[in-house]
Structure 1
Amino acid sequence: MRRFGLGVDIELKHLGPGDIDWLVAEHRRLYTRDEGFDETFPALVREILEDFDADHDPSCERAFIAWDGGQRLGSIFCVREDAQTAKLRLFLLTPAARGRGLGKRMLGECMGFARASGYRRMALWTHESHRAACALYEKTGWRLVRSEPKRSFGMAVVEQGWEIDL
């Protein structure tokens, strides 16, 4: 394991006990604070997580939950969109974990898993306001393929679609 200046070695674990509630709470806290999103957003996050937990295929879908000792730092998920395409979902880092290379590592692990699972490409959906994540996607070879204004989660947003060939 590699150290990221966050304390003990960072581990990437699969979804475990308490992770769903923690992820919903962190998405609620951060997206309400930073984006002004309403309660429909954490409700969507819970639905995505519960569906994943109940019905994911471990041969081609995986959760990566970043842990520093006993503290969760973030998540990234690889899920099946279709036979050729993996979908990146729920990429989140706590503010304390940002800017130290952990996001790049997590993205690389998720993409590596997708590649090893036989996917030929990955896709994701995000918002233009997530500038650091979008910069990371661009730096790692992702292409912006869609950008459109919408109203989601009680806010005016610019939704984006990104893709990369694996």
Structure 2
Amino acid sequence: MADIVAGYLRKHQPDWERCWIAELDGQRVGSVFVLRKSPTVAQLRMLILTAPARGRGLGALLIDECIAFARSKNYKKMVLWTNSCLGIARDIYARRGFQLIKSEPYIGFGKDLISETWALRL
């Protein structure tokens, strides 16, 4: 994750990319990024919420902000990569119209996992 953030800072395109940080009671409890994958494709990255922030609708709010931003920049599509075991995040994406377009097994974090790529037409 540190590499992703470092890359964002090194190559940041402020007209096309954003980061949101969620706060709860004055504490930072989550974040999400929109990166420019191509002139027509935005990439959603690193939706992260701490345990105390979960179940409060913050994940959905962050995703809604990302989608609104991407639309305001006239991106045609938004893509994201996740793991199949992240059910709540997957539900947020699906409720907003993202569709699963690819899945494949891999070994990550010392476990057998299934990666997923989702896409949303904007």
Deviation, 1:69, is 4.2
Secondary structure of the structure 2 residue equivalent to 1:86: strand
RMSD between aligned alpha carbons? 1.0
**C-alpha distance in 2 between matches for 1:79 and 1:140:** 19
Cα offsets for 1:112-146 (capped at 9, x unmatched): 11111121110000000000000111111110001
Q: Of residues 53, 66, 73 in structure 2, which corresponds to 1:110? A: 66
| 2:107 matches 1:151 | yes
| 2:52 matches 1:100 | no
Select the structure that is richer in strand.
2
Matched residues, percent identical? 39
**C-alpha distance in 1 between matches for 2:24 and 2:52:** 11
Select the structure that is richer in helix.
1
| Alignment-derived partner of residue 28 in structure 1 | none
Deviation, 1:55, is 1.7
| 2:16 matches 1:82 | no
List structure 1 runs of 4+ shifted beyond 2 angstroms.
none
Instruction: Give the alignment's TM-score, normalised by structure 1.
Output: 0.71
Q: Of residues 130, 133, 146 in structure 1, which corresponds to 2:86? A: 130
> Comparing 68-77 with 89-98, which one deviates more in the overlay?
68-77
Query: What amino acid maps onto 1:115 in structure 2?
Result: R
Counting only pairs closer than 5 Å after superposition, residues 18-29 of structure 1 correspond to structure 2 as none
**C-alpha distance in 2 between matches for 1:106 and 1:131:** 17
**Contiguous gaps of at least 5 residues in structure 1:** 1-44
Query: What amino acid maps onto 1:116 in structure 2?
Result: S
Q: Is the 8 A contact 2:24 2:53 kept in 1?
A: no
Secondary structure of the structure 1 residue equivalent to 2:38: coil
